[in-house]
Amino acid sequence: MLALGKLLELTLAGREPTEKIQLTREGARLHWLAQGALEVTPPASEDCGLDLLLSAGIHGNETAPIELLDRLLQGIASGQLIPRARILFLFGNPEAIRRGERYVEQDINRLFSGRHEQASGFEALRANELERLAAAFFIREGRERLHYDLHTAIRASKIEQFALYPYAEGREHSAAQLARLNAAGVEAVLLQQKVGITFSSYTYAHLGAEAFTLELGKARPFGQNQAVNLDLLEKRLREIIEHCEPATTTLDGLQLFSVAREVIKHSDAFRLHLPADIENFSELPAGYLLAEDIAGTRWVVEEQGARIIFPNPKVKNGLRAGILIVPAQL
């Protein structure tokens, strides 16, 4: 197998490859761009017109998606997987991956769409580099642009595999892309309604890609992901890489939600009135006192059918400490 197929091994070791460009026996070009970044280009005669960005490890302790991308890349490097799409593999936060920690100094997935310019440190520099790499990859006109940013969650979830679909003014969410996710085993999608500061929000709103944050189970260390079943997603990704298959059309069984409110932590006085082990997508009754903060600020559930996702009272002041969501339709 080509040495560049060992991108994860190189990333974990903090090493650069001696050769930055290698060709597979089938003529696919592997190009090492930066730490944790590898571009795969099929022969021109085989190129189907899809630019596919696959990212994982934005949070360094979310290892199941990292292992999935490693399997896909090794398949390409060994000739077992023949790409017809251009692919950019990105391991988002190499230093956090090496440490087995969510981040080093700050959450890199809150530093996109210009937020890194207001920050400093390792993650801010890396967010800027990831934006640059993604923008350079998606620079070609007239091609389909697709970005899957793969994650696992801090806590367990009543809906194990779900996606967040970013928002951009003037764009509509695509039923065809939702069907593609449905076929990959994604059980629910949260349709966002304002421009975000995550990596997928950046590629969707600023680079014109169809982009999704995929939550694929609970975060575990390397080698301990047997309970995270990514078989269906891996199968669909292989089909996309090899055949650039058109999106399917059925949304049967896919649950859709929209954001009702974000719970923002304003001060150290913030209190979230939820059990520490509450699962994502847990339902909350109307009238429930969800959170309190300084100066009498209170969040009381008013919405029918409301559920909570990503509750985290330990975030920094000014950041989101949870999202209230409600059932939605496209």
Structure tokens at 131: 């934006």
Is 59 annotated in some ligand binding site?
A: yes
By C-alpha distance, which of 88, 117, 69 is closest to 230? 69
Structure tokens at 205: 């709103």
Q: How far apart are CA 305 and CA 283, in angstroms?
A: 7
Structure tokens at 64: 């199941």
By C-alpha distance, which of 55, 85, 102, 84 is closest to 221? 102
Is 62 annotated in some ligand binding site?
A: yes
Q: How far apart are CA 182 and CA 179, in angstroms?
A: 5
Q: Which residues are catalytic?
A: 215
Is 160 annotated in some ligand binding site?
A: no
What number of residues does the chain have?
330
Tokens 């890349």 -> residue: 73
By C-alpha distance, which of 247, 220, 233 is closest to 71? 233
> Binding site for Zn(2+): what residues are annotated?
59, 62, 151
